[in-house]
A and B are shown apart, each in its own frame.
Chain A
Amino acid sequence: MEDGNSIIYGLEHQTRSLSPQYAESEAIRFLIGTQSLKPNSNQVHVVELEEDTGALHTKVFKHDIGEIWHLRCSPHDAANLVTTHNTYDPNTLQCTMGVSIFKLPTLQVIPKDLDELSSLQGRNAEDLELLVTIKPEKAEEEIRCAEWHPTDAGRLGVVYESSVRVHDVSSGAAVCSMKSDGRTRLKLTAGKWNPHQGHTQFAVLQDMHIKCFDTRTDCSKPSWSIDNAHRQLVRDLDFNPNRQFHLASAGDDAALNIWDYRNGKEPIFNRTDHSHWVWTVRYNSYHEQLLLTGSSDGRGLLYAAASICRDPDDDSEKTGKILEDGVLQSYEQHEDSVYCSEWSTVEPWTFASLSYDARLVISRVPRPFKYKLLL
């Protein structure tokens, strides 16, 4: 694995959701949710990478409430996670979506001894503890995703197809709701909390545009927006963890754009290296120069965007210790569209990407780049 070989983990059903365990500080853990329309067949897999040996350990939990479209671990409690799920009711011939918060019965994945190992092997999927389920107001309303508030453990931002609501975690009730005015026909694709600006802003993707609402008001006017961020649908965005005005976006024009949203006319960084829609983009939370993308061309790309992450008094360019902008490495172990890719929140050089054909690939930043950033 150190030499660029990735570790591959396969699941039985299609997958679209992946999340690192944000609140965990020791183990490299990722959670995967499966997407299957067969009743009672969906699962949440917890995958832990043993750093020393490079071995993968997994634990499987049942997720009988429906297929998982989106999954996010809580940044406040390592055991908590929220899933956005969809259920088909054969009686009403109707699909219902919902958001549920679960608690893992145990964080332990790696067996302590051989006894436990054998008992684990013999055991089937365990049960998750369901804390609360949030249902949409109208049964057929689609939910895109649910995002934990970065600091307030009691708040959850939920993106519906045409609005964003902030729910109270314990009761599940909507605390506030934001709706874009005017072009309400354009549906929302996804959304995210802005980690800066006092954690009050929630950015959503609406067709080709990025809009950010202030959650303290019910105002229908976005506090800032980037219109036509991509030439086609915007699929994902991620905020720079260090620079409060920078964000990365990816879309159906196969492009990765980085914006300073104070000036949303032109991206400050633009690359088109994928050969199909880009579904996911993630900043490395330790090194803002590194970005990860996943695309339906079946590739994950590791990018460097160092030129826009330089401080005026930084002399690293002179000493040649800067990464050249562009693709550092292409990861081609996937056979199908890559819908998710995530950095580990524990170890700065490890990341995972997940494709629709249920293949999780855990890789590391190649050593030369790592040394260049560290030394």
Chain B
Amino acid sequence: MEEAKAVKENPLDIDSSSFSPDVYLDCLLKCATLKQVMDKEAEIVTQSQFLQSEMQTLVYENYNKFISATETVRKMRSDFKIMQEEMNKLSENINKITTFSSQISENLQGSGNNVRRLCGTRQLLDKLQFLFLLPSQLNKAIAEGRYSDAVQDYSHAQRVLQKYGNQPSFQSIQTECSEIIFELKKTLRERLISPNTSATELAESVALLRQLQESDSSLQDIFLSCAESRLDKHLQMLSSIAEHTDILDWVEKCNNTLLADLAIIISCYNEMFEQEAIIPEFADKIMIQIFHLFEEVIKRPENNGTEMLIRGLDKFFRKLQAMTEISSSDMMSSKGTEVVIQCINHKAMVQYQSIQTQFKDSLMKVRQSLASKGSETIDLKDILNSLQVYLMQKIQASLLDLMAFLQNNLSFGLKPWCAKAVADACSKVINETMANLSDLVKKMACLQTSNNNIPFELLLILAKLCLDMQETGVSTLQNHLLKLLEEAAPGLTVDNKDTSSVMVHLSTAAQTALDSEVVFIGQTAAQMLRVSVLARDWLRAPEPRGPRAVCRRVVETLASADGAASQLFPTSIKPSSDSSRRTIWSRAPSSFSPLNRIFSERIEVFSPAGADRAALSNGALKVALKALVECVRLRTFGRHGLQQLQVDVHFLQQRLSCMGNDERLLNALLEDALASAQLRCVDPQLMEPSIVDIICERG
């Protein structure tokens, strides 16, 4: 710092501002040699001379510049003078223009105002004219029925009138217009309510009213109630004619009146109110009523003709589908499907019911012919066949009839759901008919046991019919149905119906009928034996001269049943029995002992009967002969009584051994009867077998 200061304030530096020539000179003189001083002097002299010349040049240069500047300034001064003059002239001119223009505008102002005023007056006059003409316009439009024009005009004028309505001149117009519009509203409302207006007019009226600022909800209500009353009227008309028109006419009428109107109403409604919340509900309400009515029409007996029913249904369904597009309601389409399915089911029901009644009738005829047959034999196989063929044909015919629902030209004919419904309905026809058959047979079998006079042959026939149906009939019908479905609706997969319950029905019905037949025959014979055994005085009976008459009757009864059964049920091959001729009283009475029974099988008397001739006969034999045993045990026999019974038993054994196939059963029961009689005999002495033989043959 000191050093810098020193440098800075070095008085020896010639370029510094603090240079002191004296100090420098002193220093120089002190420090330098002479030579050095001399040199220094020369150096300084040169330097001074150089500086001197340089300064001179600069002064000259500056002087020249000054001179040229002075010249330029002088020139400028003269130029500015000209400019000033020009400018003065311009401003003068401008001033003139300004005065002129203000003069012109002053002149024009008056006429412009006039024109503007005239234009305004003209517009106002136009509007006024419209307003003044409005009432008459409205009247004219209304008179000509152009309600929509009137409403449009009115709504235009409405704003103005509202604005200026308080002025007296307009007030009269407004009141007049209001009156007219009020009248118009009234007419429109009247038209709404009046029954003669068409649905289109109705919709138009509502639209106009809506433009006339009627509140929406009340309008909606009016609209709906009006529409409903109109539709109700249609409904009433339809229901009144449902009684006496056929389905085609009815559907035609329904489509043209009610459904057409409904469609218009729905579409108008959707357009106008642009909300769909309520209309489906309303439409649904109407549709439910229509469907109810339609169901009734379907169920009317004169509409049973399939072709006509289907054509009517087709028309109806087509219209419904069209309606579905208009209405967003899902219910419409689902209900339409439902109606078709219901129609199919109804048809199926009619079919199987008619089959049942017809079958019942034919059964009655068979029953009568059997009851009145007298003694000649009737070919049961024939009756069975005719019944069976009759039943099968009826079912097949009704299946074919149902297939008409699947015709290609029908609007629903090719729909899979329809095919499925038809398939279901057909299976139902088969199953129901079989179930009805089973029930009928069961009922007859039950009636039979309560001593109702149903010929036993009929029971046999019915049992056989049930069995045949179970074995082949049902499957034949199923196959037939599959074939028909394949033809009518190819590609439809029908899930195989479970027929086991029907089969069970049929087989139990057959079993019931067989059991009842066996019991009936057995009881008839048993009753004869019981009465004859209980009524006779066996103690004081005379010597036997032949089998009692009752034995012949018993044999006849059993044989006739056996004969009937042989016509219908296969005869299993009879085991050849050489023992059939063996006489059964060779045993001593003492052999009747518990021990003896241990080795024989227990005999079930009332047991289910098998479906073959021998089993049926066995069943009846058991019932009859077991009764004989039990009745014999309630009596007391004398010697001749016992011998009479011996003859009877022998006779029965001879005659009955050709029935049934269980010789052992027959013999066991007859042995039992004879042994019981021996026990109940006060003087048990049997006759010689040879004598019995002779008596039997003679008798």
Tell me if A127 counts as interface (CB < 8 A to partner B): no
Tell me if A356 counts as interface (CB < 8 A to partner B): yes
Interface of A is mostly: loop
- The segment out of A46-54, A89-97, A241-249 that lies at the interface is A89-97
Q: Which chain B positions have C-beta within 8 A of A358?
A: 594
Tell me if A277 counts as interface (CB < 8 A to partner B): yes
In the complex, the chain A residue whose C-beta lies closest to that of B623 is: A276
Give residues of chain A (43-96) contacting chain B, Cβ–Cβ below 8 Å. Answer: 86, 88, 90, 93-95
Cβ of B679 and Cβ of A297 under 8 Å apart? no
Complex Cα distance, B594 from A335, in Å, reads 7
A positions within 8 Å CB-CB of B:
10, 14, 37, 86, 88, 90, 93-95, 231-232, 254, 272, 274-277, 296-298, 332, 335-337, 356-359
Q: Which chain A positions have C-beta within 8 A of B626?
A: 276, 296
Smallest beta-carbon distance A69→chain B, Å: 9
Give residues of chain B (667-699) contacting chain A, Cβ–Cβ below 8 Å. Answer: 679-682
Complex Cα distance, B638 from A14, in Å, reads 18
Q: Which chain B positions have C-beta within 8 A of A296?
A: 605, 626, 630
Smallest beta-carbon distance B481→chain A, Å: 39
B523 in complex: contacting residue of A95, A232, A272, A336, CB < 8 Å? A232
Complex Cα distance, B626 from A335, in Å, reads 14
Q: Which chain B positions have C-beta within 8 A of A232?
A: 523
Q: Which chain A positions have C-beta within 8 A of B681?
A: 37
Give residues of chain B (440-494) contacting chain A, Cβ–Cβ below 8 Å. Answer: 449-451
In the complex, the chain A residue whose C-beta lies closest to that of B680 is: A37
Smallest beta-carbon distance A88→chain B, Å: 5
Most B CB within 10 A of own CB, among A276, A332, A358, A359: A276
B682 in complex: contacting residue of A10, A90, A274, A357, CB < 8 Å? A90
A14 in complex: contacting residue of B523, B598, B603, B679, CB < 8 Å? B679
Most A CB within 10 A of own CB, among B603, B606, B681: B606
Cβ of B594 and Cβ of A277 under 8 Å apart? no
Smallest beta-carbon distance A51→chain B, Å: 27
| CB 8 Å contact bits of B586-628 with A (1 = contact, 0 = none) | 0000000110011000111111000000000000000000100
Cβ of A93 and Cβ of B449 under 8 Å apart? no
Complex Cα distance, B488 from A102, in Å, reads 89
Complex Cα distance, B597 from A337, in Å, reads 12
Smallest beta-carbon distance A326→chain B, Å: 17
Cβ of A297 and Cβ of B605 under 8 Å apart? yes
Tell me if B539 counts as interface (CB < 8 A to partner A): yes
Interface of B is mostly: loop
Smallest beta-carbon distance A141→chain B, Å: 14
Q: Which chain A positions have C-beta within 8 A of B450?
A: 231
A86 in complex: contacting residue of B451, B606, B636, CB < 8 Å? B636
Smallest beta-carbon distance B519→chain A, Å: 9
Complex Cα distance, B604 from A313, in Å, reads 42
A94 in complex: contacting residue of B539, B597, B680, CB < 8 Å? B539
The count of residues in chain B whose C-beta lies closer than 8 Å to any C-beta of chain A is: 25
| CB 8 Å contact bits of B538-550 with A (1 = contact, 0 = none) | 0110000000000
Q: Which chain B positions have C-beta within 8 A of A298?
A: 602
Q: Which chain A positions have C-beta within 8 A of B682?
A: 37, 88, 90
Tell me if B234 counts as interface (CB < 8 A to partner A): no
Given contacts A14-B679, A231-B450, A275-B606, 9 further A-B contacts (CB under 8 A): A231-B451, A275-B605, A275-B607, A276-B606, A276-B630, A277-B630, A297-B604, A356-B633, A357-B593
Q: Which chain B positions have C-beta within 8 A of A357?
A: 593-594, 597
B638 in complex: contacting residue of A93, A336, A356, CB < 8 Å? A93
* A37-B636, A276-B605 known; A359 vs B594 contact (CB < 8 Å): yes
Complex Cα distance, B607 from A274, in Å, reads 9
Q: Which chain A positions have C-beta within 8 A of B633?
A: 337, 356
In the complex, the chain A residue whose C-beta lies closest to that of B600 is: A335
Complex Cα distance, B627 from A145, in Å, reads 22
Complex Cα distance, B449 from A86, in Å, reads 36
Q: Which chain B positions have C-beta within 8 A of A231?
A: 449-451
Cβ of B636 and Cβ of A95 under 8 Å apart? yes
Smallest beta-carbon distance B81→chain A, Å: 139
Complex Cα distance, B682 from A336, in Å, reads 22
* A86-B636, A88-B682, A296-B630 known; A335 vs B606 contact (CB < 8 Å): no
Q: Which chain B positions have C-beta within 8 A of A276?
A: 605-606, 626, 630
Q: Which chain A positions have C-beta within 8 A of B605?
A: 275-276, 296-297
Cβ of A275 and Cβ of B636 under 8 Å apart? no
Smallest beta-carbon distance A142→chain B, Å: 10
Cβ of A93 and Cβ of B539 under 8 Å apart? yes
Q: What would 6 A/B residue contacts be, using CB atoms closer than 8 Å?
A: A37-B682, A274-B606, A296-B605, A335-B598, A337-B630, A357-B597
Complex Cα distance, B190 from A366, in Å, reads 91
Q: Which chain B positions have C-beta within 8 A of A297?
A: 602-605
Cβ of B604 and Cβ of A275 under 8 Å apart? yes
In the complex, the chain A residue whose C-beta lies closest to that of B537 is: A140
| CB 8 Å contact bits of B386-414 with A (1 = contact, 0 = none) | 00000000000000000000000000000
Complex Cα distance, B451 from A14, in Å, reads 35
The 3 closest A-B pairs by CB, nearest first: A335-B597, A276-B605, A275-B604
Q: Which chain A positions have C-beta within 8 A of B594?
A: 10, 335-336, 357-359
Q: Which chain A positions have C-beta within 8 A of B679?
A: 14, 37
Complex Cα distance, B638 from A372, in Å, reads 53
In the complex, the chain A residue whose C-beta lies closest to that of B449 is: A231
Complex Cα distance, B449 from A274, in Å, reads 17
In the complex, the chain A residue whose C-beta lies closest to that of B637 is: A37
Q: Which chain A positions have C-beta within 8 A of B638?
A: 93
Q: Which chain A positions have C-beta within 8 A of B636?
A: 37, 86, 88, 95
B597 in complex: contacting residue of A14, A277, A332, A336, CB < 8 Å? A336
Smallest beta-carbon distance A363→chain B, Å: 18
Smallest beta-carbon distance A107→chain B, Å: 30
Smallest beta-carbon distance B580→chain A, Å: 26
Complex Cα distance, B593 from A10, in Å, reads 12
Most B CB within 10 A of own CB, among A10, A94, A275, A358: A275
Complex Cα distance, B14 from A189, in Å, reads 181
Smallest beta-carbon distance B487→chain A, Å: 50
Complex Cα distance, B598 from A357, in Å, reads 12
Complex Cα distance, B676 from A336, in Å, reads 11
